[in-house]
Amino acid sequence: MARQSPQRPDADEPELDDTDAAAAADEVEEDRPPADRALWDEVRIDPVEIALPAGTGFTLRAYRQARELTPTDVAERDQDDPFLARRQVVETEEDEEVVILDEEFAALSAEEDDEDEEKDAKARRKGKADASDDEKAEAEADEDDAEDEDDEDEAGDEEVPVFLTHKGRLLLFKTPESLVTFIRSGAPNDLSQLDSWNELSERLEPADIAPLDEDTYELDLVVENLRGGHDAWDHELLIEAGEIARDLAYALRLPAVLDMLSAGSSLDDLDEALRASVNGGVGGFLGRRRLKKIGAQTASLGWRTIVGKISAVVDWRD
């Protein structure tokens, strides 16, 4: 089929060349004022946009010291957790509970887990051999207690994420207007414990809900991107997905997701390799080599579980 010629402009309308068109576009951009960040800087809270398979929504996020926050209450949420039926609880030799999150992901990761268990077993045997008398064991116990106290103090001073949540669910709003209406309504939520919350609720306008690029996340694209294979992986997309997933897992009290992304896990290895690969030099070269060794199927199945668990605790608001 022959291509149709573009319509010619009317004789009365002046034809713009490329320079004029670009200048007109710049003029439009200048007429559109950028979102004012002064309010967000003052209250130390940021608007966030998150895309999930069910849709895209706006919410809020802040970072505060852990000791200043009361965690969200998940008792009501966990009563109807849709993933509970799929969990398998296994008793270990130390009577600890291990939760298998996703059968397919667990099967693919079993080999790595076996290697970790073997290393742990060797470490335990060595520890028992070294602790040959009661006096040494007691001294080590005292040291552990002191370390635990230090860890608790450090954890209290650590900045942690908190979102617009309520009873263990993330509140996502489909429009800026609905988000502002909720905030002004005085409805209960976990961000209301912040000392700057009242000021935000009094001054916030829909035009202020304009997330920065670094506060916009596309979790809906992660699994499909991973399935495309190593050459198709979008490094920035996957790194940002890991950041928001960790924040959400902490704030929403999703220990299973935190465990899947914890140091030493296969998905954490993926994250580290992605970060290394975007750098130049030898580190970038080694990062790209590490990526080639990571299974696309394992990564996509793991992220499918993570996105599913996060989606299951979202409370969508119009």
Tens of pLDDT along 75-120?
999 876 655 444 444 333 444 444 445 555 666 666 555 655 665 6
Say if 249 falls within a structural domain.
yes
pLDDT band at 276 (very low <50, low <70, confident <90, very high): confident
In this structure, are strands 165-166 and 159-163 parallel, antiparallel, or unpaired?
unpaired
- Residue 141 is predicted with a pLDDT of 58
pLDDT at 173 over 90: yes
Q: In this prediction, what percent of the chain has a pLDDT beyond 70?
A: 63
Residue 150 within any structural domain of the chain: no
Judge whether residue 236 has pLDDT over 70: yes
pLDDT of 143 above 60: yes
Of the candidates 296, 258, 315, 301, the residue with the CA atom closest to the CA atom of residue 50: 315
pLDDT at residue 195, as a whole number? 96
SS (H, E, C) 74-112: CHHHHCCCCCHHHCEEEECCCCCEEEECCHHHHHHHHHH
| Domain presence at residue 6 | no
Residue 234 lies in a domain: yes
pLDDT in tens, 53-77: 999 999 999 999 999 999 999 999 9
State mean pLDDT over 34-44.
87
d(CA 202, CA 185): 10
Which pLDDT band holds residue 186 (cuts at 50, 70, 90)? very high
What integer pLDDT is reported at residue 295 of this predicted model? 84
**Percent of all residues in the chain with a pLDDT value above 90, rounded to a whole number:** 53
Could you tell me if residue 46 is inside a domain? yes
Name the residue range of residue 248's domain. Answer: 38-87+157-317
Average pLDDT of the segment spanning 231-248: 96
Phi and psi, residue 99, nearest 5°: -100, 120
Count the domains in the chain.
1
Q: Would residue 16 count as lying in a domain?
A: no
What's the confidence (pLDDT) of residue 206?
Answer: 97
pLDDT category at 137 given cuts 50, 70, 90 is low
Going by pLDDT thresholds of 50, 70 and 90, the confidence category of residue 1 is very low
**Beta bridge mates, 316:** 172
Neighbour-count burial of 17, counting CB atoms closer than 10 A to its CB (0-12 exposed, 13-18 middle, 19+ buried): exposed
Identify whether 76 is part of a domain.
yes
Query: What pLDDT shows up at residue 170?
Result: 98
The secondary structure element, H or E, covering residue 276 is helix 266-277
Which amino acid, residue 42? Answer: E
User: Is 251 a residue whose pLDDT tops 50?
Assistant: yes
Determine, yes or no, domain membership for 120.
no
Let me know if 286 is exposed, middle or buried by CB neighbors in 10 A (0-12, 13-18, 19+). Answer: middle
